[in-house]
Amino acid sequence: MRKKLLSIFLCIVMAVTMLTGCGGKSTTTGKDGGSKKEDTKKDDEKPTATPAVTTVGEGTPLEMWTFVELHSKFYAKMVDKWNKENPDKKVKITFTTYPYADMHNKLTMALQTGEGAPDLCDVEIGQFPNFTKDTSSLYPLDDAIKPYQDKLVKARLDIYSKDGKIYGAPTHVGATVMYYNTKILKQYGIDYTKIKTWDDYAAAGEKLKKASNGKVMMTSVDTASVDWMWIAMSEYGEDWTTTKDGKANVQLKSVKKMLNMQAKWLKDKIAMVSPGGHVDMEEGFANIGDGKIASFPKALWYMSRFLSYMPEMKGQWAIAPCPVFEEGQPRSVGIGGTGTIVTQQSKNAKLAAEFIAYAKCSEEGEKGIWNELGFDVCNTSIWNDESITKDKTNKYLQYFVTNPFDVLNEVKDEIGKINVKEISTTINSQMCDTTLNEIFEDGVSVDDALQEAQDAVDSEQ
């Protein structure tokens, strides 16, 4: 009997160990799983599937991880400039580009175990709260950023700060604007400059539907991104991460208004659901490129997507402030971003911090960010620097019908800020996995879906 029991036990043990052994070999894909859950997308082209490693410069060796290859290319150029300007503090940086989710997971584990983290690392804003849960593993950047601080948009430094210390060097403002396809709108006799409110927007959508026989829709609503909610919250000055009692609340007036409005658009067939869940992925680019939708709101960093994925649409797209629910509301919100961190594991943390502050926050760096990556930089003096804003050779200024800097200066004081906190990751995954799908795909009522979302968020706080 005992033998029998023992043998059965051993059999189970063997089976379990064998199976988990098989299951333990997991590899992750280069596909971005992050943007579905995070409230922000890549600032740039899709991450590569294989880690690309390059070493630049000569001097103190540093290691840096990014999730966008273009970023490493930009930093590499800044290494050369830094070494020219600081011959006594030369750096030699080895850049590794990982897929989005892999890089953040690797960094989490490296900081948790206290081994193997790089000196510098790009962290996407949606992931940032996961790393500031415990700031002991991050090196504060206050001293390094100080020389440039007065010229930077303070709100962008705040989102990467905790307890009064800055832990991430910002990349851009991420002002959200409306992109309009002027070619389509003109063809059907619609003047986008007249659109001021969401009611105007819906009316234009109706007109477009009739004129084009339902071939073109006004926009596409997202099931895997919360950008639209952010726009609504900014307009009403609300923020779902922080309400009066300091708790997160997704049942806000602004969110309800936006969701009900979008559900109505779908019913009236003036909008479609974004193929693939949101516009910042292959299916989305194809949908825009095929002229199926005439407009959509997105942060200014989306300009680079046009150049990368829809170069043939040059001269068709205009940029304008977002419509509002009631005239006089703020017409933009800062979405997305990458904060670059320096880890405490770095042997040369001070040097790494000085370099990254120079590369991202100095005038030189900011100009580079605009020219290379096409981002609306945090240094507002550049927004009025005519050598930049009127630069005829710039590929971004050439592509669009309107000048992005005009729009940026117009909404300069209306760019709302939504906090990204620890609870944000829960809110976003609940919204993008469940709530938005229920409302837009399954026809669940907005109130029910939001109540369910609130319950899920409450269980986390």
Partner 1 sequence: MKLKKFFNSQKVAPYVFVLPFILSFAVFWIYPLFSTVKMSFEKILPSKTTFVALANYEKLLNDRIFHIAIGNSFWYMVWTIIILIPLPMIFACIMDSNLVKAKGLWKALLYLPALSSVVVSGMLFRLMFSELPTSQMNVFLQWLGQLPIKWLKQESTARFALVLLATWRWTGVNMLYYIAGLKNIDKAYYEAAEIDGAGAFQRFRYITLPLLKPTNIYVLTISIYAGLSMFLESFMLWAGNSSPRNIGLTIVGYLYRRGIEKNELGYASAVGLVLLVIALIINIIQLILNGSFKKEEA
Site residues (vs partner 1, CB under 8 A): 1, 4-5, 8, 11-13, 15-20, 23, 26-29, 31-33, 36-37, 101, 104-105, 108-109, 111-112, 114, 130, 133-134, 136-137, 223, 275, 283, 425, 429, 432-434, 437-438, 441, 455-456, 459
Cβ nearer to partner 1, comparing 220 with 223: 223
Residue 61: CB minimum distance to partner 1, A: 24
Cβ nearer to partner 1, comparing 3 with 392: 3
Cβ nearer to partner 1, comparing 1 with 387: 1
Cβ nearer to partner 1, comparing 176 with 430: 430
Residue 456: CB minimum distance to partner 1, A: 6
Residue 20: CB minimum distance to partner 1, A: 7
Cβ nearer to partner 1, comparing 146 with 347: 347
Residue 243: CB minimum distance to partner 1, A: 22
Residue 399: CB minimum distance to partner 1, A: 28
Residue 288 near residue 171, CB atoms below 8 Å: no
Strand order in the sheet with 52-57: 52-57, 91-97, 60-66, 120-124, 338-342
Cβ nearer to partner 1, comparing 171 with 430: 430
Residue 378: CB minimum distance to partner 1, A: 28
- Burial class of 315 by CB neighbour count within 10 A (0 to 12, 13 to 18, 19+): exposed
Residue 135: CB minimum distance to partner 1, A: 9
Residue 19: CB minimum distance to partner 1, A: 5
Structure tokens at 100: 């989005």
Q: Give CA torsion, residues 104, 233, 164, 130, to 10 deg.
A: -20
Cβ nearer to partner 1, comparing 31 with 92: 31
* Among 170, 76, 165, CA closest to 344: 165
Cβ nearer to partner 1, comparing 42 with 331: 42
